Amino acid sequence: MITQIMANIFWVEDQFHWINKIQPILEAHQFDDSPTIVDCHKSAASACQKIKLMSFEQRPSLALLDANMHGNDHAGFSVSRTLKEKWADLPIVYFSEHSGTDIEMLALEQGDSKDFIAKHQNNIEQVLCWRIKAVLRQHQITGATENSNGTQKNDDFIVNGDLKMDLVTWQVYFRKQTLMNPANTKRPLSATPRKILRELLQASPRPIATIEMAQRIESDVEKFSYASYRQHIKILRHSIEMVAQSTEPAFSFLTTCKNGQGIVASGDDGAYCWKAIS
């Protein structure tokens, strides 16, 4: 039974009168037994900057986005993309004055929104709370989600085929066996390769270049070079290869990577991506 719905809302809205009107109502509405938190940003730029600085564990429960901000019809979509790059399954709701327009069509066609709520309608304060609660409830019921590349994810794990990452213990498994350090098989993978693998899985199939990866794993961009990125990728590949060879000697993960699946070098210099193994 679903008895509790966490509510930490990341809201991006450029019109002060809507913020003044709606924020107190959202904060006063108990979606669960604790106060609702509303983290409000008044521009797409500041919202995206905040998202990039947030850790994976700081994810909100839901994002509430205005689509058109400061005359830019695509401002909300840029925030949505930034959110999805970090938290692929985060539910997104648009709260907009532009219902019935191409903006609503794009929001729904892109497939990243759970709802599109028109601002100008009767009883909008209650309607907004009802529909946010419905989205949160549905998200909690469905639990793990699956993206177009076959990666399932919830707050506790990420799964892609034979690969599973436990986000609580930080252990990584391939075919139910723990990935170990290739240089010392008695030790598990170190933290940095595991962080890199997590980001590759979350962004899959989009490649992540060196600078972006440094930012994602909160590493010093001056010290995290392409050479170090490549070395961590090598460690990951050989770690999976060790397990693969022990379970199925005829299967080579390294060969699979060369053939365009698994951990693959992108066409862009200094970028890698995870592509599902068929």
Does one domain contain both 138 and 158? no
Does one domain contain both 171 and 126? no
- 265 occurs within a structural domain: yes
CATH number of 183's domain: 1.10.10.10
- 134 occurs within a structural domain: yes
pLDDT at residue number 100 = 67
Given 118, 143, 168, which residue is the final one in a domain?
Answer: 143
Q: How far apart are CA 224 and CA 128, in angstroms?
A: 44
- For the chain, 278 residues long, give each residue's pLDDT as a single digit of tens: 334 455 889 999 989 999 999 999 999 887 766 678 999 999 889 999 999 898 767 889 899 998 878 777 677 888 888 888 788 778 899 998 877 677 777 767 665 678 888 888 888 999 999 889 888 877 765 554 555 556 666 667 888 878 888 887 788 999 888 999 999 888 888 999 999 999 999 888 889 999 999 988 888 878 899 999 999 999 999 999 999 998 888 999 999 999 999 999 987 668 999 998 87
Given 143, 175, 194, which residue is the final one in a domain?
Answer: 143
Given 143, 178, 203, which residue is the final one in a domain?
Answer: 143
- 2 occurs within a structural domain: no
Does one domain contain both 18 and 137? yes
pLDDT at residue number 111 = 52
Q: Give backbone dihedrals phi and psi of 274, rounded to 5 degrees, phi first.
A: -105, 125
Domain that holds residue 19: 8-143
Residue 31 corresponds to which tokens in the numbers above? Answer: 């979606």
Inter-residue contact 129 to 119 (CB < 8 Å) = no
Does one domain contain both 123 and 92? yes
pLDDT at residue number 33 = 60
pLDDT at residue number 3 = 42
Q: Exposure of 51 by Cβ count < 10 A (0-12 exposed, 13-18 middle, 19+ buried)?
A: buried
In the chain, the number of structural domains is 2
Does one domain contain both 113 and 176? no
CATH number of 125's domain: 3.40.50.2300
- Does the pTM of the predicted model rise above 0.85? no
pLDDT at residue number 234 = 97
Residue 9 corresponds to which tokens in the numbers above? Answer: 């809302």
- 1 occurs within a structural domain: no
Does one domain contain both 126 and 33? yes
Q: Exposure of 40 by Cβ count < 10 A (0-12 exposed, 13-18 middle, 19+ buried)?
A: middle
- 3 occurs within a structural domain: no
